[in-house]
Amino acid sequence: MKLQLLYNNHTNILDWGKVMSVRVEKNKGVWTIIHSRPESRNAMDPLSADQLTDAFLEFNDSKDGKVAVFWGEGGAFCAGWDLKFASMLATDDPLKDLDIELNEMVLKENNLMPRGPMGPSRLNLKKPVIGAIAGPAVAGGMELALWCDFRVMEVSAYLGVYCRRWGIPLIDGGTIRLPRIVGRGRALEIILTGRQVKAEECLALGLCEYIVENDQSRQKAEELAHQIAKFPQICVQVDRKSVYAQEGLSMIDALKQEWFNGKKALSEEGLNGAKNFKKGFGRHGDFNKLG
């Protein structure tokens, strides 16, 4: 991809080989992006981080991709960074190429930060991503789950800042996204204790939106993705963008940005949608036949 070199220069540290641990399965506008290192409970290694970043960038730039599902194969979403790789890094500063400050020139020229240690965690996509969570989504894996727009969790799945035990901080957005979802006090309690947060509690706290039986998270997430993919996509992307853009704004400024953000969708899709409604499409809560 055209942006790939910005993200994977750091992999020159070691010869990681060409084993693909990420694959993409596409179905009618829904891209299921799969991380597959089941032998390590999908713990993240540098090659996987690069491949996931590239996959999500390709999805974001694609004319065909509308909604992505992020799923870990083999019964685990992601067990965090694979600590086995820490002792193999042949450099005194393994995060140098991921350092935002050291890459300010790239940031200014391309409006693009180097990828996060866990891969796509610093990407600001224009399209929805649904997390399908099985088993552990812990440490950096929890940060990746929080990066998704919303989450489907299996009944036995759980989150947790398990890296608390090793003195490894949250550096993939966890200290930002968690308090925005659950509030500062609860976020601090979860972060500082490092405790396990099971699916039922996640649902109560707003850390997930659906709980399903084991082995059903991908199916449910894809079902929701296909539902979203059927809608007019300019409007989907505009409303999603507006939700994120209002954070930190006053009510007046938030209303302004919502209005200016929404005008394009209203003119390009909303008027046509109103005509379809007049023709009888989508009436009485029918989400299946929209025109």
Q: With CA atoms as reference, report the closest residue to 127 among 7, 285, 235, 227.
A: 235
Structural domain spans, the chain:
4-229, 233-285
User: What fold characterizes domain 233-285?
Assistant: Helix Hairpins (1.10.287)
Rounded to whole angstroms, the Cα distance separating 193 from 242 reads: 33
Whether the CB-CB separation of 141 and 70 falls below 8 Å is answered with no
77, pLDDT greater than 90: yes
Instruction: Identify the band that residue 12 occupies on the pLDDT scale cut at 50, 70 and 90.
Output: very low
Q: Across all residues in the chain, what is the average pLDDT?
A: 84
Q: Give 110-164 pLDDT, tens digit per residue.
A: 556 778 899 999 999 999 999 999 999 999 999 999 999 999 999 999 999 999 9
Which two tokens mark 179? 């308090």
Least confident of 129-138, 213-222, 235-244, 281-290: 281-290
Q: What architecture (CATH level 2) is domain 4-229?
A: Alpha-Beta Complex (3.90)
**How many CB atoms lie under 10 A from the CB of residue 5?**
9
DSSP β-bridge partners for residue 114: none
86, pLDDT greater than 80: no
- Burial (CB < 10 A; 0-12, 13-18, 19+), residue 179, is middle
Which position has the higher pLDDT, 255 or 290? 255
State residue 279's pLDDT score: 46
The continuous run of DSSP H or E covering 132 comes out as strand 129-133
Q: Give 176-223 pLDDT, tens digit per residue.
A: 999 999 999 999 999 999 999 999 999 999 999 999 999 999 999 999
Rounded to whole angstroms, the Cα distance separating 188 from 183 reads: 9
**Mean pLDDT to the nearest integer, 232-244:** 93
290, pLDDT greater than 60: no
Instruction: Identify the band that residue 278 occupies on the pLDDT scale cut at 50, 70 and 90.
Output: very low
What percent of the chain clears pLDDT 90, i.e. is strictly above it? 67
Q: Could you tell me where the DSSP H helices lie in the chain?
A: 4-8, 46-61, 104-110, 140-147, 174-182, 184-193, 199-205, 217-229, 233-245, 251-265, 271-278
State residue 94's pLDDT score: 59
Whether the CB-CB separation of 74 and 38 falls below 8 Å is answered with yes
